[in-house]
Amino acid sequence: MTLESLRHNPLEDLPLPLTSDFRVIAAPFALRFVLRGEAAALAPLEAAFGVAPPAAPLSSASAGSRSALWLGPDEWLLLAEDDGQGLEESIGAALEGVFHSLVDVSHRQAAVTLEGARAQEALGFGVALDLDPPAFPVRMVARTMFVKAEITLWRRGERVWRIEFARSFANYVRELLLEAARGF
């Protein structure tokens, strides 16, 4: 198995939940980097990546096909849903001389998008967070558990969510979502 063979979502060819008010879509392959660094890394990163990493806890920022998700006080998940040609080198060059860690986790992770009026209810099947809009507003991000799978949960719209998870949990997450949809 080569890295190129992993440039797809393991769920893209499998049946996913689809009802009149809830659907799950396998997210296309994206470049993903975990950045750890101090505040001095943020301005050069923004210049190289095109998105300013959010300083506010549990938040996200997006511009076009790129997003930065706050994971911790000095940690961000960077998503590039474009070809990202030379992106890692560009970020590395921009951060040269700035104390940081940049790790490519593109092939480690997969993602799905949940959409529809019952998406929040489906997530409630396995997430122990308050997902109502006042507690979990649009653009909020949190690391949590979906039953036994560690996920990064991102509310992208009023009825649109993205779940990031380890590829090894792809079928498990799929089965949980199918079970949640059976209740509809």
pLDDT tens, N- to C-terminus, the chain (184 residues): 555 555 778 888 888 989 889 999 999 989 999 999 998 999 999 999 999 999 999 999 999 999 999 999 999 999 999 877 899 999 999 999 999 999 999 999 999 999 999 999 999 999 999 999 999 999 999 999 999 999 999 999 999 999 999 999 999 999 999 999 998 8
Amino acid (1-letter code) at residue 64: G
Q: Are residues 145 and 95 in the same domain?
A: no
Q: Are residues 3 and 62 in the same domain?
A: no
Domain count for the chain, please give it. 2
Q: Which of 46, 75, 105 is the last residue of a domain?
A: 105
**Can you give the pLDDT at residue 2?**
55
CA distance readout (Å), 28 to 16, 50, 123, 149, 159: 14, 20, 20, 20, 19
**Can you give the pLDDT at residue 9?**
86
Give the chain's end-to-end CA distance (angstroms, integer). Answer: 38
Q: Are residues 65 and 123 in the same domain?
A: no
**Can you give the pLDDT at residue 51?**
97
Q: Supply the CATH number for residue 128's domain.
A: 3.30.1360.120
Q: Which of 79, 105, 131 is the last residue of a domain?
A: 105
- Residue 65 domain boundaries: 30-105
Instruction: Report DSSP state, residue 27.
Output: P
**Can you give the pLDDT at residue 144?**
98
CA distance readout (Å), 99 to 22, 31, 44, 69, 75: 44, 22, 12, 20, 13
Contact at 8 Å (CB) between 15 and 58?
no
Q: Are residues 154 and 101 in the same domain?
A: no
**Can you give the pLDDT at residue 84?**
78
What values do phi and psi take at 155, rounded to 5? -90, 110
Q: Are residues 86 and 174 in the same domain?
A: no
For residue 176, what are the contacts with CB-CB under 8 A and spacing of at least 6? 125, 126, 146, 147, 149
Q: Supply the CATH number for residue 96's domain.
A: 3.30.70.1520
Q: Are residues 115 and 24 in the same domain?
A: yes
Q: Are residues 52 and 69 in the same domain?
A: yes
Tell me the pTM. 0.92
Q: Which of 83, 105, 127 is the last residue of a domain?
A: 105
**Can you give the pLDDT at residue 48?**
96
Q: Are residues 115 and 154 in the same domain?
A: yes
